[in-house]
Each structure stands twice: as C-alpha cells, then as structure tokens.
Structure 1
C-alpha cells in the first residue's frame, strides 16, 4: 500500500533519474578518454606522424613522444586530465610505452560503452577487468616472456633498437643504442645484492648545437659548461688531483643588520686584514693537500684566486649541486663542507684528464678518461636546438629501456605480437568465466587488438585483412608473429628482431586497465566551490553540482 500522496513511486522515479545521470557521466568520461587516445593514436609505431605543438610564448615543439605531447595539451575535462596523468606515471615508472598506454586505456573504456548502454552495472565490468588483468600478468610473467642474457650485447642492442626505431633518432639507431647501453652500464651500481641505475641523476645529457649527430658520444667522465676563474690557471692537466667543496672561498659578508663601530683609522685596516687572513687560512687548508683542481658550489674571491694561482691550482666556481655530485662519482672525490675538514682521502684521483675546450661560442670543462666512473655525460651534437631536444627525448626512452632490461632481463616479442597472443589466450579463458562477467572479460581481449590494428593503420596497410591473417597465425600457435611497422606485413618478430622489455609491458597493462576501472567507477562529477558565509568569518566549503557541471 502506498503512503499518502503516493510517496513510494516518487522515490523510485528519483532513483532511476540518479542512475541515468550516473550512466550519462560514465559515458562522457569514456568519450573524453577516447578523444585523448585519438589524438595520440597516430604516434604509435615506426611510421608515426609528428605533432607540432605551439606554446603560448610562441615556442614550437615537434615530437611523436606521447608523454611530451600530452604535457603540452590543455584539457578541461577531469577524465581527460586523468588520462594525461597516466602517461606521466608511465614515463616516471618505466620511461617508455607512453603512447601505448593511452591508446590501450582509451580502447578499454571504449569497449565498456556497449555494456553500460545495455544497463550492465559498472561493478560487474570492473570485476571482469580485474580478473582479466590478473590473468594477463600471469600469462606475461610465466608463459610468454623470454629470459635474456645481460652479457649478450647483440641482443641488448636489438631490444634498444626496436624502441628507438619508432622515433626520430631511428635513422641513427646504432649510435643511439651504443650511447644508451654505454651510459646505463657506466651508472650501473650493485651494492649488497641491490641493483641501482639512476639515469636521471648520474647520466646528464648536454646539448651543444653545431657539428653533426654522428659526433654525439658518451664521455667516460663529466662535462660542465664552465671556465676557469683566472686566465693564468692551467686548462690542461693530466691525472689531476681534484677537491670538491660546498663552501665559499671568500670572506663571509656580515648580515644586513651587522654594525661595526670604527674609532680610529687602524681599525678599518685591521678589519680588512682579518678578512684577508681568513681567506688565506682557507686557501692554505686547500694548498696543504696539493690538489690540481678545486671545484666549489659557491664563489671564489679575487684574493683566493691569487693564492691558488700562486700554488698552481685551477679553480672553478658556482658549480651546480647535481654536477658536483656527478664529479664526485666520476673521480672518486668526496664533497667537503669546511676546508679545515679536508683529508687526503677526500681528494679524487680517478680522473685521467682535466681540460677546458671551446665548443661553439662557449667554454666547457671536461673531466674524462676516468677509471671506473659511476657517472657520465652524454654529449649530443646536432644542427639545431629543436632537433637536439627531440633527440634528447628519444634518447631518454632508449636509456630507460636499457635500464629496464638490466634490472629485469626478460623480453617479449614486439610489433603487436604480444597483444595478439594475450588476446587469444584471454578469449580461450573467457569460456570458463561464469555468468555475465564473460562478456566484459572477452571485451578486454578485443581491446588488446587495438595495438596491432593501430600499427597496421599507421603504415597504410589494409587493416581488416592484416588482422584476420594475424589472428589466423596466432590460432595455429605462432605466438611470436606480429606486424612489421615499416611495411604493414605480418612477420615473425623473432626473425625481425623486435623485442620489448617485460617491465614496460606489465606497467602498460596495469596502468591502462586500472585507469579504465577508475573512470568507470565515477558516477557523478560535482564541483566544490568555496563560499564565504556572511554571518561568520570562517569560509565554508560546499560541494554541490553547478548547472555547468551537470551540463558537462
């Protein structure tokens, strides 16, 4: 029996309205995700198109790096912002696969659309996606991945090449691979069974316009954009003894509120004398250890330069903290904060050569020929700043791939072969899934095919025919067959030599599926606005849907 005025039917009506509003928001989120994926889709594979990005200041960036493109794009939709965030996550975590993760996440959302329209509850879709993700990870780790011998340089070069092949730097693939592997092996550190490869901090990329790209190399040491402080200081030293400081070689200036009362003329002379004595004492502490070169992160006064030149010591000032850390790792020196604490063991003796050379218009300091340096500088030469910036972005991907392989030496076939193999396995497995969950589970397998499909599209092949042939190959058990991104033909990836690191693929799948799940969970977008209450001074935060947010 209904209450007075028929309250119950009204309640049912409001619940239906809520459900419809929730579904509308979910579909909008899916569309936003698909829109972002469509922007990036043409940037996948060796025949990828470039995007030209213009910033508000009029600067131009030309790139096909998914992360670089999304960093520059301004998006208003909150779901679109989440998609951009996952490219950043992927880049920070494994440094490669940013384009794949966006394309895959967009497709994962796209295949969920039909189920929402059929009134299937998002929770069921999410459960099926979770199950599929667990099965994918198990398949990759236990069945499909191939172990790699880290000492096999040819195989390592092959893997890095397949990463670099899709980029602008692909024309100089051999050079890029050699640079990436040399740099990563230089900064490779193993302590108490723990591997550490910190490329960001210890493999610095220096871009110097001019020369040809073939002149790029990895220095067995460090290079800084600095010159000596005094013209009479030596600019070429064999087997230098190096001291690194974090303190100024000048007298300490008083703070702004310092007051000095001078009564007679000699007091001022005494004041200057004290300053000179302090600088002399600091320099004597350094000269005592007979170094050849002194690097300091702070300033060097004229008086200190005078004492150091007399002792035949070269000084370089205002070195960045990060550069100082790299020099410390390369030449075996210790950064010291006070000159009176300097000891013989703080002096770096691993460097074979210190020299200052002029490249273009500027002077650069080179500390090279180091004995087992744990830091290095990658010197990039090229025709213009734009080209160098793009090469650096590409090289970062190559460095990350090399790092991932050394940390986890397991490989998977590239060229969409792995997606096809996992898709095939999931379709088989979906037959044993109970109830309606079977359909979204099968849809994940379908979504994975977006990678080989996009590769075929980007090189102008007949997509339907190519994918059908590829499916047929995988059905007969040829799990390493994929699409040649150059020609659009289907080939065996083992013979073509296109491989991908396992860690990149795992991260791509996890991030893409988790993002799809996250966006399907959202059933309302509410804008929180702060309003000042007229009665009280304390501002109250109110969260209520605005007309604009509901329209969106």
Structure 2
C-alpha cells in the first residue's frame, strides 16, 4: 500500500499486502456470511438434510448438527470465521440453536446489504438493529411460558433431538436425558460434565440405558484381578506406579551380574513400597491416571485390588465427585481419609468393550449413559443429538422459561417488530423492519427443507398469528398448527442467545469498511479487473471457504 508525495510513492505496508476499501470490503464480508449461512441452512429442522464431511485423512463425519459442520469445515475467510465463532459460542452457552444463529446472521447481512444499496449508511443500520434487538428481548419475555416440570423437560429434549438421527427412540432417549439431568442437578444448576455419554456400537438405539453411577470405558489392568469388589474403598491416583526415568542423559556402569541383580532388586523394592502404601490405606479399588508397571500389577493382583490404568482425566473428576475420593498426586500422601466409597465396582463386557461400573456411590451427582447404535457413524450422530438435548434440558431447568417452537417465536417477534418500527422516525425504521423480515428466515427454511410452498406457509403463519402467538409449522403434516398443543417447545435461552449472537456478529461485520490482509490470507484480487457486475470480487478471490468446492 502506497501514498504518493508528488511523484515519490511512500510505502507503509509491504507491496504484496491486499486491501479492500469501503463497499468492496463490506460486500466481501457480507457475501462470505451469506454463503456460510446457505451452507448450513438445509440442515435446519426435523426435515433437514445431512452433510458428509471428509477430512484430509479420509475420516468421514455425517451430520446435520450446525456447529459440527462448521468445526469440520476448513473455513479460511475471516468474516466467515466470525460466524463460526458465534456457532461455537451458542453451543457452549446453551448446547443447541447453532444453525439458527448462523442463518439469522446470514439473513441479517443480506437485508443490510439491500439497505446499503439503497444508500443507508452502515452506522444507521447498526443503530436500527440494536433498537430491534432490545425490543426482541421484551417480546421474548412476553411470549415465554414459565415451566420446568418433567413433562416440559421431556418435550424440550424431544424437540432438540427431532431430525437428528434419533427418531426411532426419541421418547426413551429424552426420558434418559431428563433422568440424568435431574440426578446431577444441584441448587438449580446443572454441570453437564457430570454426565458421561459412552458410545457402544452393535445394538439398537432403544437399548441405550442409564447407569446410576460412573462408567469407565476401560477394563481391569490385569486378568488376575477380581472382576467385582463390594463395599469398595476407592483410591484415585494421578501419580504413575512406575519407576521414574532419569530426567537427564546418564549412564550406569554395571561391572558384574550381582550389580545388575541389585539394580533390579532396588527397582522392585521401590515399586513394592508404592503398592504397600496403597494396601496400607485400605484401598481395594485403584484408578490411576497414568501407567502402572507390570510388577506393580502383579503385587496389586496378589492383594486382591482391582486396578484401572490410564483413566481419563474427565473420568477421574467424575469419580472424585461421585465417590468422595480425593485425587492424589503422590502415592506417599495416600491414606484412608483420601479414599472414596461405592457399594459395588465391577467389570462388565458390553458388545466388544470391557467397562468398569462404579455404582451405589456415596454422592452420585454424576451419571453415565450407555448409548447403543448399529454403527460408529450412527452412534456419533445420536451422541451429538443427546448433547444438544442435554444443553436444552439443563437450560430449561435453570431458567424455567420456554418458548413454543416450529417457527412460532420468529413469526410473532417479526410481527411485533414491524408494528414497533412504525413508531420510529428516521431511517432506523427501515433497519428495524429489515430485522423483522430477517427473522422470518427460520420458518421459511423449515418449510423449504420440508418441500413445502414457502410463500403460502408464510402467509398462513402471519394470518394465524393475528389470533395466537403459538401457531407454528408442523413440517410432518405440512400445515400451520398450535405447537403448544403439539408439545414442540424450546428453552427461551436458546432463542435469545441465537438472535443476540446473530445480531452482534452482523454488527461487527457491517462496521468493517477496510480489509487489510497479508499475502496468503486472501487470494489476490485486482479490484479493477476481478470485480463482477455487482462490484463483488468472485468467490475464488475471497480466500475460499477452506476445502469446500465453489458455492456460486
């Protein structure tokens, strides 16, 4: 980039730096957001389609989960990455609604582009969008229902799982999720980390079950160890039961067989002392986060201790929570006061996997769900559906507020926003109205993905909402119906977070009027030669969307 002082150019950035100014920068960023939204749009709703994603190693993921798709795609464009971030944030905060957040953001950008073309400044659009968002919060409170009884929680879970590969056993899976959440709920809050979903292929989905305790997907460390221990005293050890390797390069010169034997005897003695300390504590079950030496396994087996090695950190934390044990970092610190308790610990084979079950715990604020499925791909997709359901059930239990689904809240919010826009003077009125129209992309997409006529459906929905705020689209019957009666409900937090995230990401993108990129960040664009008739650089000049084929 150069500034000219007379005939002498003054370079303030490297010559190969790319720069897009004003409307060119806005068009590029808006286009990237629109393309990303179109990519995931077909996955929305019960009739949404799946995406097959293949990485460079040939691993296949088949899913219609929005955040999984966006994570697996190798997104390169910086504006598109911003929308990926809102999807990840949506997943982290509420666990569902990621696709909704992205397609609303894409539609808000599309409407903003139309306003920009009409000569309305980006700052005015942003100001109008902010006014609309504040009004959305008010409307959401008005149309929300206070409820967190068990039937509502099951309906919320079923709504979240609909169309995500779990149709066959949607009701029993929803009941499993609600039971698990209620078991780990403490003082109105739910820590989802205390619910472990363990996938096991080789059976039908409806054979999934809940374990009232902890499930560790490992077998016992030695075949001679007991398969079952009752009245278990559990030790959790972060320290490896192995002789430490020397941390520096060193040589030990052994000049006779007796010295070699003395060296080995010393190692054995060290290991024996560590095992003796475990035995002395009274432990009869040991979970070790690190490795266990073969000699240590031999002594543990002789002492009748059931040991598991290389236990995952997340499992160690759950065991600590459920059994009352303390994770020990040094075996010298182990005593009976650090041990946890469980009624029974046993090993069991499920299909082809050996697993350890810890049941009848002291404080079972941690549970496990064994998820069955015919293949690895099936169980992976159903696990994603269960994780979404976990998030929405937890949000409902914590907030106690739900909204009716099936596109009903978006239509009602849009209707009230349009009425609100008429009370605003100035160009912000157009922005508020555009915000309202953008929200209608949700029921429109639901209809499209179900193969229905979007114009007729949208007209029917608008007319129905003159009478009731609970009218939504039943995609299975292809008609507008009362979704409250149908039991289609979502947490208020999901809807609120999705609209808020979409609005904030849109605002950030619209405020960018100068894009400066180092060579390689974006592919070369000659603004004079490469702009199409709309003034928009072609997609090939936008750095692409990672490894995806062109989508123009």
The yes-or-no answer on 1:153 pairing with 2:159 is: no
| Contact persistence 1:356–1:365 (CA under 8 A) | yes
Quote how far apart the aligned CAs of 1:153 are: 1.0
- In structure 2, what is the equivalent of residue 218 of structure 1? 210
- In structure 1, what is the equivalent of residue 190 of structure 2? 197
Change in Cα spacing, 1:249 to 1:422, as seen in structure 2 (3 Å) is: same
- In structure 2, what is the equivalent of residue 435 of structure 1? 426
- In structure 2, what is the equivalent of residue 512 of structure 1? 502
- In structure 1, what is the equivalent of residue 68 of structure 2? 68
Q: Deviations over 1:281-334 (max 9, x none)?
A: 222221123222112122323332333233222222222222222222222211
Change in Cα spacing, 1:294 to 1:26, as seen in structure 2 (3 Å) is: same
Flag structure 1 segments of 5+ consecutive residues without an equivalent: 1-19, 531-542
- In structure 2, what is the equivalent of residue 98 of structure 1? 98
Q: Deviations over 1:123-167 (max 9, x none)?
A: 1111000110011112213x121111x3x2112111111111232
The yes-or-no answer on 1:176 pairing with 2:176 is: no
Quote how far apart the aligned CAs of 1:422 are: 1.0
Change in Cα spacing, 1:40 to 1:258, as seen in structure 2 (3 Å) is: same
- In structure 2, what is the equivalent of residue 11 of structure 1? none
Change in Cα spacing, 1:275 to 1:136, as seen in structure 2 (3 Å) is: same
Match of 1:186 among 183, 186, 205: 183
C-alpha separation in 2, matches of 1:124 and 1:511? 19
Q: Deviations over 1:442-479 (max 9, x none)?
A: 11111111111222222222222222222122223x11
Aligned runs of 1:87-486 on 2, under 5 Å? 87-141=87-141, 143-148=142-147, 150=148, 152-190=149-187, 196-199=189-192, 201-260=193-252, 267-349=259-341, 351-476=342-467, 478-486=468-476
C-alpha separation in 1, matches of 2:507 and 2:306? 60
- In structure 1, what is the equivalent of residue 57 of structure 2? 57
| Contact persistence 2:46–2:475 (CA under 8 A) | yes
Quote how far apart the aligned CAs of 1:266 are: 5.5
Flag structure 2 segments of 5+ consecutive residues without an equivalent: 1-19, 531-536, 538-552
| Contact persistence 1:527–1:549 (CA under 8 A) | no
Quote how far apart the aligned CAs of 1:239 are: 2.5
SS of 2:477's equivalent in the other structure is coil
Question: So what's the TM-score if we normalise by structure 1?
Answer: 0.87
C-alpha separation in 2, matches of 1:97 and 1:486? 20
Greater Cα offset, 126-135 or 260-269: 260-269
Q: How many residues align?
A: 511
| Contact persistence 1:526–1:544 (CA under 8 A) | no
Change in Cα spacing, 1:434 to 1:344, as seen in structure 2 (3 Å) is: same
Change in Cα spacing, 1:527 to 1:413, as seen in structure 2 (3 Å) is: same
Q: Deviations over 1:240-298 (max 9, x none)?
A: 22111112223333334345466777655444443333223222221123222112122
Report which of the two structures shows the higher radius of gyration computed on alpha carbons.
Answer: 1
SS of 1:424's equivalent in the other structure is helix
Quote how far apart the aligned CAs of 1:107 are: 1.0
Greater Cα offset, 263-272 or 20-29: 263-272
Change in Cα spacing, 1:29 to 1:268, as seen in structure 2 (3 Å) is: closer
Q: Runs of 4+ in structure 1 displaced over 6 angstroms?
A: 543-546
Change in Cα spacing, 1:75 to 1:427, as seen in structure 2 (3 Å) is: same
Q: Deviations over 1:329-359 (max 9, x none)?
A: 222211112223222221111x222111223
Quote how far apart the aligned CAs of 1:491 are: 0.9
RMSD of aligned Cα (Å): 2.4
Quote how far apart the aligned CAs of 1:112 are: 1.5
- In structure 1, what is the equivalent of residue 79 of structure 2? 79
